[in-house]
Amino acid sequence: MSFESTSRPVATSHGSASPGLQAHALLGTPRQWRVAMLIDDGVDELCVARLIAELDRAGAQVQLVAPQIAPVSTQLGGMLSPEHSVAAVSAADFDAVCVPSGLFCAETLQLSDEALSFVQQAYEAGKTLAATGEGVQVLRALGLPVEGGDALDEPEPGVIVGHGEHCTLSNFGRRLAKRLSREPQRPPRRMLRALAA
């Protein structure tokens, strides 16, 4: 069974405006948020596709970001094309950073100083962070708040984690979109720490 046909629509339709985003453009409403989807080899392409679809419905513009600007092989044998490398963009360019599932992807992202720095910068700047499945390991590697459990959790405002089988990708995507609609960015965390001291 080949999943090549599954991966192509994700990568190619992603670059052109989807029906949801075209509707926003026709109605004169701007795209509300920019979400960086942090990927690397071994990413779960079905997770990426479902999250993009859910966020697209909410009006978000999702861009694939990877440690290098080279095709990324997925855990099912497909290929995704990142639009940016983490070195070429800043976390400040996005409203949220999302780390999807994929065991090998999470492991390789943890080995990339630039990828970890990108996530850390987003966190420090008060951007919304979201990780699901094995992607939670990337947040954990940075010492960021991630609660265990078998559900969808927000251990700190703006940090959304999805654990286990009871966290469906639809619920996770809707939770991320809801967080962005309520409060896309909070004050930088270093400012909050200073106020608390």
pLDDT digits (tens, 9 = 90+) for 29-83: 444 789 999 999 999 999 999 899 988 988 889 999 999 999 999 999 999 999 9
The radius of gyration of the chain from alpha carbons, rounded to an integer in Å, stands at 16
Return the domain boundaries, the chain: 4-196
pTM: 0.78
Sign of the CA dihedral with 7 first, then 9, 13, and 18 last: negative
**CA 94, CA 82: separation in Å to the nearest integer?**
15
Q: What percent of the chain has pLDDT over 70?
A: 73
Q: Highest-confidence range of 13-17, 31-35, 124-128, by mean pLDDT?
A: 124-128
Q: What is the pLDDT of residue 131?
A: 92
Q: What is the pLDDT of residue 152?
A: 77
What's CA 79's distance to the chain center, in Å?
17
CATH 3.50.50.60 fits 4-196, yes or no: no
22 pLDDT higher than 50:
no
* Nearest by Cα to 159 from 167, 193, 108, 140: 140
